[in-house]
Amino acid sequence: MTALLLGGEMPHWSDSSPVRGDVLREVLASVAGDTLVVGPHDPELIAAIPARNITVLVRGMLDAGTGAELPGVQVCCGSLDKLAAVPAYDTVVALDGLDRTISTEGADLTWSESLNCLLNVLRPGGRLLLGHGNPLGLHRLYGSAASAGDADWVVTAADVTRPAGLDALGDRLRAAGLTVSRDYAAYPDPLSPTVLLSRTALADPDRHGLLTSMLRRAGLPDGPLLADPRPLAAELLRHGLAAAVAPSWLVVAARPGDGTPPPPEVLPAVPAVAGDCLHDALLAAARSGDRPAMRALLTAWQSGDAATVPADAIIVAADGRLHPLTGPAGEPVLHLLADALRDEGEGDETAELLAAMAGTPVAPRPAAVPQTLREVRAAHDGLAARVSDLQDQLRWYETRTAALQSELARANRIIAVLKGTVPGKAAKAVLDGARTGKRLARAAVRRIRR
Amino acid sequence: MHHANHYYGHSRVLARYCGYEPELPLLRGYLQHGWNIGDGMAPDHEFTPGVPSFLWSERTRRRAWSMGRRQLYVTGSPWAYLIAMEPDEPEQREGTIFYPFHGWEGQHVQGDHDRLIDEIRDTETGPVTVCLYWQEYRTPRVRSRYEEAGFRVICHGYRGGWWKDLDPGFLGRQLAEQRRHRRVASNRLCSAVFYGVLAGCEPAVYGDPMQLDGEQDLFGGRGRIRRQWASMHGATVDLETARAVTTEELGADRLLSPGELRQLLNWNDRNGNGR
């Protein structure tokens, strides 16, 4: 289907990294009725929408061309303010947020004006699925400085209408007459979240172990990182900050009259198990120097069925039973744990030592590639220390060699002097005779052996 | 620095604004020399990394940035500086100055001049001046058609090329001509129409838009121009809207002080040799 040009379209443009990911597909599973998708979304996400009538609005002509290939999808290209303000949709999907709907050719809409454009097209009883990036998200706090890209032709940081936080986002939607049925913190990356945790779930202390495990396993944000943000997971939950520093948020809100049940509180779906994350239990034992507790946990883990499941994917129940949440890891789990303990500042644990504590053999160490600036720095520091050690050793060998050489030279001089004396000559004749005798004897032995 | 900087005497206008008349200092950078819907420069313009571009409007700056260009500065158009330096003298305005769409050096236009002449006759009520590009002005076949139609036929001059035959008086002549007319019109939205609006004319865009041999619609081409600048099209358009659009496109609201401009164009430390 040919794209419909609304005006304000950018002829040369493509938003080359659209929002994507399986977990978003699960959110879209309940989308129904006439649906408008606004902003850059991965074609796989659009294909996953079960609704029959789908309209997609993008700003770049190159993306309009790609979207037009999707069967049954009407693609519109242009800026948000060119969208006819008619309530024509039962669902409006803007998982990427509103920032990438602004065009170089269109008006400078504030965040709030852009939201109004979406609300204007939403029918009574209609639903809005809205993403919202967090400029103070962990991905930014732990990210390295990046220069402005081609998409940063104008910086909207000072837009005071942009909700600062999940609370403000919910308030803004409620003020517009919508009911918020779900508000998620999305990790680890705004463009490709793998975990969605609702605020209801985050507020439940019984689920902290489970959610810590999910956050630890959510993966890393895209791009160069200063350090691995995952070690913060448990503390973020304990301090009630997991929503505040989430890389992005996602809300499901509706006009009165919406009868569709909200999506699950936690995505992807996990069994409800109360307890601590084994990784954090081991970390706590290591930090407090409680070697017996650490040994007991390691032994229980490594001697049971979950021995190949990583520690961050296991919940330790109050009765001590281990509940694995995933299958075996692709990498040796003790090495993963040892690396994490070192990265999280707990001394020089090695996989070999952990294996010895658990009473199990250790797998060979996989080649590690540093992923964060901190890991690169650690690798660099380790190398620098090794080079320094080797330089010291080299200096010792140089000194030692010089000493040996001077001793050898002195010995040679003594030998030369001794050779010139009568007893010296006699001694040489005896030695030469002895050598000849030895040769004759060897030849005789060889002949006898034949 | 770039030969296109001197087209139509653009750099001369800026030099005058900065107080460097009659000498022409070296301009370090690329100066947008015509209204366009891309990054402000001609499609075949070469870019040397690290050399700044001086653009007419904020919209063009944003577009150029999104296309990967950097070191972009919005200066406003030389025409807007000229208007600022030459306040409108009350003069009797009459009739329409019409700019038929033209090709540039080496390009040829396909279109029906006779049909365009009929459309101009049907639309305009007062006397008509037709301003031809120098190539067409020198082609008797084209020129005589407009003359035979009873139009006054003029040419603003040669825009200049490769630092030769530069015409510092081009824009001045154009301004004087436009200020004699009540309306400015063309069969395509172009620099001349925007210039006319800033010079106090009522604009109109109508008639067979014609096309160039092998013309490619870059950046959305004619279709996009009609959609995005719809308010500039028609035999009569809303004057207030047209003035607002023109102010934005020519950067008339973005003019710099002579001091700022000297700083940006590297004219504070003059070592130019006239290029």
pLDDT value, residue B103: 65
Residues B161, B140 contacting (CB under 8 angstroms): no
Q: Which of A7, A104, A150 faces B227 most closely, judged by CB atoms?
A: A7
Interface contact A5-B227, CB threshold 8 A: yes
Packing angle of the helix pair B170-178, B191-198 (nearest 10 deg) = 60
CA distance A202 to A428: 93
Interface contact A150-B63, CB threshold 8 A: no
Q: Which residues pair with A131 in a beta bridge?
A: A250
- CA angle at residue A147 from A142 to A149, to 5 degrees? 110
- The whole-angstrom distance between B222's CA and the closest CA on chain A is 12
| pLDDT lower than 70: segments of chain B | 1-4, 6-8, 22, 103-110, 159-166, 269-275
- The whole-angstrom distance between B235's CA and the closest CA on chain A is 22
Q: What mean pLDDT do residues A34-39 have? A: 97
Bond prior to A268 in cis (omega within 30° of 0): yes
Q: Read off the pLDDT of residues A46-91 as tens digits, 9 standing for 90 and up.
A: 999 998 899 999 999 999 988 777 888 999 999 999 998 899 999 9
Q: Which of B62, B223, B230 faces A153 most closely, judged by CB atoms?
A: B62
Residues A366, A335 contacting (CB under 8 angstroms): yes
Q: Which of A5, A61, A150 faces B65 most closely, judged by CB atoms?
A: A150
CA distance A32 to A53: 9
Interface contact A11-B220, CB threshold 8 A: yes
Residue B88 or A311, more confident? A311
> Which amino acid belongs to residue A164?
A
pLDDT value, residue B272: 43
CA distance B143 to B134: 10
Q: Which residues of A touch B63 (CB under 8 A)?
A: 10, 104-105, 153
CA distance A153 to A99: 12
Residues A341, A283 contacting (CB under 8 angstroms): yes
Nearest CA in chain B to A153: B62
Structure tokens at A335: 């090495």
In chain B, beta strands by DSSP E? 30-31, 53-55, 72-74, 96-99, 109-110, 128-131, 152-154, 183-186, 202-205, 211-212
pLDDT value, residue A145: 82
Is the pLDDT confidence value at A127 over 90?
A: yes
Nearest CA in chain B to A15: B66
pLDDT value, residue B275: 36
Q: Which of A12, A13, A105 faces B228 most closely, judged by CB atoms?
A: A105
Here the ipTM equals 0.84
Q: What is the mean pLDDT of chain A?
A: 91
Q: Read off the pLDDT of residues A211-256 as tens digits, 9 standing for 90 and up.
A: 999 999 999 999 888 988 988 888 999 999 999 999 999 999 999 9
Chains A, B: CB contacts within 8 A come to 41
CA distance A200 to A183: 8
Q: What's the gap between Cα A352 and its chain centre?
A: 26
Please report, rounded to a whole number, the percentage of residues in chain A having pLDDT higher than 90.
Answer: 63
Q: Read off the pLDDT of residues B143-179 as tens digits, 9 standing for 90 and up.
A: 999 999 999 999 988 765 544 556 778 899 999 999 9
CA distance A304 to A176: 54
Q: Which of A61, A104, A152 faces B59 most closely, judged by CB atoms?
A: A104
pLDDT value, residue A31: 93
Chain B contact probe: residue of A6, A14, A77, A150 with most B CBs at under 10 A? A150
pLDDT value, residue B218: 81
Q: What H or E segment, with its residue span, contains residue A163?
A: none
Place of tokens 């409007």: B57
Q: What mean pLDDT do residues A409-433 have? A: 84
CA A181 vs CA A48, A254, A256: distances in Å? 21, 8, 11
CA distance A356 to A359: 5
pLDDT value, residue A107: 87
pLDDT value, residue B107: 60
Interface contact A104-B68, CB threshold 8 A: no
Is the pLDDT confidence value at A173 over 90?
A: yes
Is the pLDDT confidence value at A308 over 50?
A: yes
- The whole-angstrom distance between A149's CA and the closest CA on chain B is 8
pLDDT value, residue A247: 97
pLDDT value, residue B211: 77
Interface contact B62-A150, CB threshold 8 A: no
CA distance B26 to B233: 38
Residues A167, A203 contacting (CB under 8 angstroms): no
pLDDT value, residue B159: 65
Q: Which residues of B touch A12 (CB under 8 A)?
A: 38, 66-67, 219
Nearest CA in chain A to B72: A153
Residues in CB range of A67: below 8 A, 6 or more apart:
A3, A43, A46, A56, A58, A73, A75
**Which range, A84-98, A146-160, A351-365, is most confident?**
A84-98
Report the candidate in A99, A22, A1, A29 with the shortest Cα–Cα distance to residue A59. A99
Interface contact A153-B219, CB threshold 8 A: no
Q: Which residues of B touch A10 (CB under 8 A)?
A: 63, 66
Interface contact B219-A12, CB threshold 8 A: yes
Place of tokens 């819907």: B37
Interface contact A153-B65, CB threshold 8 A: yes
Q: Which of B65, B67, B228 faces A7 most closely, judged by CB atoms?
A: B228
Q: Which residues of A touch B233 (CB under 8 A)?
A: none
Packing angle of the helix pair B239-249, B191-198 (nearest 10 deg) = 110
